[in-house]
Structure 1
């Protein structure tokens, strides 16, 4: 049975800051961001937008009413949870009006969680071929004003509908995973922002990639020459490029081809920033919507990495007619976001919800987005659908 991605959608907040402006405000050469990180802009999420609203917005863009009657599992991969107990998938299930007899769960392992969700979705469809599974990768990467990681922040969500006989990509059964108990990036419950060992984390990203790819080759017999393109986890675009170069140095011909596709696959990532679990799938969407070199049956290689660390390499093949299920004007939509100066970015992105003695929020800002957090009442998050 062929199982894979039938639809894919994306949502970003309506605010953005130019990294050239941020560099000027921090007295840093803008080329450090533009060339050193290969990043240009950063999505900025207001306090009324979180992983629930962004995830619901990404999914609503691709789902029909019929889909909502057929989905029987909702999986959200995230490391930006809004509740230690209740899954974001439960909130999203309700906001979207998906039929009630569905399983809704949240998965966590840093930036890897949504990839695990994709594998679980495949297993579910293999058992129940008429089912549909909604997999959402939704995250907000936030490191603090003037922090080392500030230019690699971001916010957004990618939604994928997983089905039998998919119309975009068939996922192959060639997955290879690796786990290492390391502390390269982590987020204690008592900390507002993550703790990062930056140099160690980038080393582990690359080493996990090279060792897992070696094992993948031994298991499958595939080489880089078998792939038309590669999508990697993109904490910032330069990191993904370095990873590609690390596994491609022994095959210059394949590396040249894959590097061309890589630059098509980071068009959106460069304009959005890091969205943790969703970064690799945003790269896939960027590849599909910006490459003119791809064709049906082409095979795409994936490298998913979540600090801590778990990684996975797998592949998928494009389906005939996949272009018909994409959004060709997405770049124009991204250009319509409200551009913020640095002062407004600092105010909006780092605003915190104030609660009174009953655990209820002081009035939140107005938000005309399709989905928004309207208030917290007795410690309960209340969302609305426009």
Structure 2
């Protein structure tokens, strides 16, 4: 049975911080960000636009009423959870009006968990061929003002509908994962921002890529010659470029090297304008590749490197299906330019705002611009979500 990504959607916040403005405010050379990280801008999310609203917005952009009546599982992968008990998927299920007899769960393992969600979704569809599974990777990367990680923040969500006979990408069975118990990035329950060992994390990312890819080639008797593109987890595009250079085989025909390089450049276009979205970064790279590449055709194989600090990595592959181009959107880069540009002072106020609860556990918020959904209020410690115009 052919199982894979039938539809893919994306949502990000309505506000943006330009990296040149951040550099000027922090007394840094702008090229530290533009060349050192390959970042031009960061999506900045206000308190009313969180992983629930972003995830629901991403899914709402692709789902039909028939989909909502057929989906029997919703999985939200995140490391920005809003509740230690209630799954984000339950909120999203309600906002989207999905039929009630569906399983809704949340998954976590840093930036890797959306890949695990795909695995789970594929197994479910294999067992229940008529099923549709909604997988959402939704995160807000937040490190704090004037911290070392400030320049790799961001916000966004990628939604994927997993079905049999998909219209975009057929997932192959050959996958390989690797786990290492390391402390490169973590966020204890008592902290609102993560702890990061940046250089160590970069080395682990690259070494897990190298060792997993070598073992993958050995186990499945494959090589780069079998692929038209290679997508990477994108905490920032420059790290993915280092990964691309690490696996590039210089003995490949020049034409194939050029194709792989061109497709890599296309895969990082959106991340350059959005920043880090944790669990969704790899799949934002896929979306960017598909919507901007001029050389991909049905039948092309794409390889993926997923990485989540702590750490779990996985390499998996997929094949583009006939007509995949019809499921894509050509206007996304133009729409990103329509976000509201924030000054550094405005960014510091909006991005790091926290709810102030009264004695009864209530909080209200300013009327920030969001997508079709928003966090309306907190009432007796309950997060109340709804459509913007309701």
Q: For residues 179-204 of structure 1, what are the alpha-carbon distances to aligned partners after superposition, in whole Å with 9 as ceiling and x for unaligned?
A: 00000000011112100011110000
Partner of 1:324: 326
Partner of 1:278: 280
Return 5+ residue gaps in structure 2 as ranges: none
Q: For residues 164-217 of structure 1, what are the alpha-carbon distances to aligned partners after superposition, in whole Å with 9 as ceiling and x for unaligned?
A: 000000000011000000000000111121000111100000000010011101
The offset of 1:355, in angstroms, is: 0.5
The offset of 1:61, in angstroms, is: 0.0
Partner of 1:165: 165
1:236-251 paired onto structure 2 within 5 Å: 236-251=236-251
CA root-mean-square deviation: 1.0
| Range moving further from structure 2, 155-164 or 251-260 | 251-260
The offset of 1:258, in angstroms, is: 1.7
- Aligned residues of 1:68 and 1:99 also touching (Cα < 8 A): yes
Partner of 1:116: 116
Q: For residues 301-320 of structure 1, what are the alpha-carbon distances to aligned partners after superposition, in whole Å with 9 as ceiling and x for unaligned?
A: 00000000001000000011
Whether 2:8 is the aligned partner of 1:11: answer no
- Aligned residues of 2:13 and 2:370 also touching (Cα < 8 A): no
**Partner of 1:216: helix, strand, or coil?**
helix
Partner of 1:304: 306
| Count of matched residue pairs | 386
**Partner of 2:79: helix, strand, or coil?**
coil
The alignment's TM-score, normalised by the length of structure 1, stands at 0.98
- Aligned pair in 2 of structure 1 residues 76, 251: CA closer, same or farther (>3 Å)? farther
Partner of 1:149: 149
Return 5+ residue gaps in structure 1 as ranges: none
- Aligned residues of 2:225 and 2:252 also touching (Cα < 8 A): no
Query: What is the alpha-carbon distance in structure 2 between the residues aligned to residue 222 and residue 285 of structure 1?
Result: 24
Partner of 1:260: 262
**Partner of 2:303: helix, strand, or coil?**
strand
Q: For residues 298-337 of structure 1, what are the alpha-carbon distances to aligned partners after superposition, in whole Å with 9 as ceiling and x for unaligned?
A: 0000000000000100000001110000011111111111
1:374-385 paired onto structure 2 within 5 Å: 374-385=376-387
Partner of 1:294: 296
- Aligned pair in 2 of structure 1 residues 44, 213: CA closer, same or farther (>3 Å)? same
Q: State which of 357, 360, 378 in structure 2 corresponds to 1:358.
A: 360
- Aligned residues of 2:364 and 2:376 also touching (Cα < 8 A): no
The offset of 1:349, in angstroms, is: 0.6
- Aligned pair in 2 of structure 1 residues 368, 259: CA closer, same or farther (>3 Å)? closer
Q: For residues 198-255 of structure 1, what are the alpha-carbon distances to aligned partners after superposition, in whole Å with 9 as ceiling and x for unaligned?
A: 1110000000001001110111111011100010000000000101111114545454
**Partner of 2:374: helix, strand, or coil?**
strand
Query: What is the alpha-carbon distance in structure 1 between the residues aligned to residue 112 and residue 366 of structure 2?
Result: 32
The alignment's TM-score, normalised by the length of structure 2, stands at 0.97
- Aligned residues of 1:213 and 1:313 also touching (Cα < 8 A): yes
- Aligned pair in 2 of structure 1 residues 185, 32: CA closer, same or farther (>3 Å)? same
Partner of 1:20: 20
**Partner of 1:336: helix, strand, or coil?**
coil
Query: What is the alpha-carbon distance in structure 1 between the residues aligned to residue 355 and residue 364 of structure 2?
Result: 7
- Aligned residues of 2:17 and 2:342 also touching (Cα < 8 A): yes
1:210-229 paired onto structure 2 within 5 Å: 210-229=210-229
- Aligned residues of 1:245 and 1:255 also touching (Cα < 8 A): no
| Range moving further from structure 2, 252-261 or 116-125 | 252-261
